[in-house]
Amino acid sequence: MPRRTHFSFLRMAVLFSIIPCMHSFAQLHIPPVMEADSANFRKDIMTRVYISPKKVVWTKGNLQHTENLLDASTEQADLVNFSTCLMNSTEEDTASVILDFGRELHGALKLVAGSGSDAYFTVRVRLGESLSETCSELVSSRPANEKGNQYGQSKKYSATNDHAARDMIVLVPRYGHIEVGNSGFRFVRIDLLGKATMNLKEATAVFRYRNIPYLGSFRCSDERLNQIWSTGAYTVHLNMQEYIWDGIKRDRLIWLGDMHPETSTISTVFGNDNSFYGSLDLAVQQYPLPQWLNGMSAYSMWYLIIQYDWYVQNGNKAFIEKHRDYITGLVDLIDTKVDEDGSEHLAASRFLDWPSSPNEQGVEAGYRALLCWALQDAEKLCMLLGDEVHAKKCIEIENRLKKKVLPPNDLKQAAALMAIAGLMDAKEACEKYILVGGPKGFSTFYGFYMLEALAKAGQYDQALDIISKYWGGMLDVGATTFWEDFDLEWTKNAGRIDEFVPEGKDDIHGDFGGYCYVGFRHSLCHGWASGPTAWMSHHILGVDVMEPGCKKVRITPHLGKLQWVEGTYPTPSGEVIRIKHVKLPNGEVKTTVKAPKGVKIVK
């Protein structure tokens, strides 16, 4: 078992590279008495480390020596209560403490107890992505939309345990330890219930993550953009568990429609990672044709886009071959649902992302554009498979759809998809829709495609300004990962997520969110929000993969107002392309590129 360490998260990249990861049972030394049972073992591909809290945020009641919780030197309980925090609760006053681990984590909480008044102690544990979430009350269903106070004692501020248990009453054994919860959190509140005295030896986070190196990197003359790039990378890394999840607290599922920004970031940062293959294999097993993936027709469209993009980056044709029947079967299914006049009836429900949902006309236009984009990629996939019949079918379906090109109805999501699919001129899409109001109307998911449309229109400075304001707006209120949903309007009268909300201020976590994520159900670590990480590597660092498997890569930087940018980009072999651009006094950009063998660079 690894030794616990109280470390700075700035050293996390070093930690990732030195902690051993168990990849096969050949590395296990199985006790002889269990060898006959080894066929029933399932290896854990994740790595676990123990992290001490960075600070004590708040206490209530009778506690002594809370500083001992910040530097747990052993994981062993003892009889002498060496280096413990004494908690003493009475019938009138509950001893409570809130701890801050400094950064969003995925995993559990480990409690180690020494001596005390009982053989075991009844403890309430509340995990929180924000400080105020640790003070929320538990409800069995989605929270009501009511106003509450700063300590979270109202329906509005209540939270659920769905997807991940975050509010639990547990029994902590005397002279023993227990691990509780498995969720996304940064903060934890511990309440010693009843009349009791407990010597708490430690309260450490059990950080559970995929032990892989950060191959891609990005640095530029704007430190805020550097922080946004790394935050997007870390957000996706936390969601790369056994499979690629949507979120580490809520939506711990494989959602194909939400995965494209994540797989784009994975390619940019981690390269050819196995989490991709396992996630897509399991998804098509769970939703065999003629079902739509995740029961949503748009999500089957995203499957085709994800497959093609991943192939271009990594050149794994064997995986495309493995999915041949599913790809061609999906094309056949779509063909039966698009009429000659361009009308389509794939499904009654239309969905792009939650914030766009009220604009039904705009969603319809965007949905049809998404289908055209998916068919364009499906045609390329079929050609790779040598299936000209299905490739031709993709072109025919798209041509039928183009007979009815609908206006975006002022919806930025729709305009972005139409620009990408070639149904609208990119400059028109940006000037008439996407740039109107700047970040207003952006979403953490579809903002990626709005940035892509801006790149197609050559609007790089405008895109960087929006990235800085919109994604940077989450950092300004204490975020260490990017959120399921965000609106800059929320910040106008809001406190930070790492502080108690001042009287008269809005709780940016508890007061906002819509649809399925009202209040504290709102996820503050969602992989679909990572788009700027992939976008900056491709459009600012300038990496454009021209031949599958990075055999030929074009480097075309767009520094805009930046003075320099440098970074690395993964190739399927695990080696990286090293790139640096420097703006000279005359405005020209000097580019230096070092590529691994087998990668041809063009400029």
Instruction: State pLDDT tens for residues 473-507.
Output: 999 999 999 999 999 999 999 999 999 999 999 99
Instruction: State pLDDT tens for residues 260-298.
Output: 999 999 999 999 999 999 999 999 999 999 999 999 999
Q: Which two tokens stand for residue 15?
A: 């930690």
- Assigned fold of 217-484+523-545: Glycosyltransferase (1.50.10)
Instruction: State pLDDT tens for residues 73-90.
Output: 778 888 998 899 999 999
Residues of the chain with CATH 1.50.10.10: 217-484+523-545
- 265/571 Cα distance (integer angstroms): 13
Residues of the chain with CATH 2.60.120.260: 9-209
For residues 370 and 150, the model is more confident at 370
Full DSSP string of 14-33: HHHHHS-----GGG----GG
Instruction: Tell me what the mean pLDDT of segment 204-210 comes to.
Output: 97
pLDDT of residue 246: 96
Instruction: State pLDDT tens for residues 578-603.
Output: 999 999 999 999 999 999 999 999 98
What pTM does this model have? 0.93
Instruction: Tell me what the mean pLDDT of segment 393-411 comes to.
Output: 98
- 94/115 Cα distance (integer angstroms): 18
- Whether residue 33 is predicted with pLDDT greater than 70 in this model: the reply is yes
- Whether residue 514 is predicted with pLDDT greater than 90 in this model: the reply is no
Q: Are strands 600-602 and 552-555 parallel, antiparallel or unpaired?
A: parallel
Please give the backbone phi and psi of residue 518, each rounded to the nearest 5 degrees, phi first.
Answer: -75, 140
Partnered with residue 601 across adjacent β-strands are 553
Q: Count H helices, E strands: the chain?
A: 14, 16
140 pLDDT band, cuts 50/70/90, is low
Q: What is the mean pLDDT of the chain?
A: 92
Instruction: Tell me what the mean pLDDT of segment 425-451 comes to.
Output: 98
Q: Which two tokens stand for residue 376?
A: 């364009």
Closest CA to 365 of 294, 400, 323, 416: 416
pLDDT of residue 367: 98
Instruction: State pLDDT tens for residues 347-364.
Output: 998 999 999 999 999 999
Q: Which two tokens stand for residue 579?
A: 């790139």
- Assigned fold of 9-209: Jelly Rolls (2.60.120)
Q: Which residues of 163-175 are buried (b: 16+ CB within 10 A; e: fewer)?
A: bbbbbbebebebb
Single-letter code of the amino acid located at 460: Y
Single-letter code of the amino acid located at 576: V
154 pLDDT band, cuts 50/70/90, is very low
Q: Which two tokens stand for residue 106?
A: 């995925």
157 pLDDT band, cuts 50/70/90, is low
Instruction: State pLDDT tens for residues 48-77.
Output: 999 999 999 999 999 999 999 998 777 888
CA–CA distances in Å: residue 164 to residues 47, 155, 178, 224, 249: 19, 19, 17, 32, 6
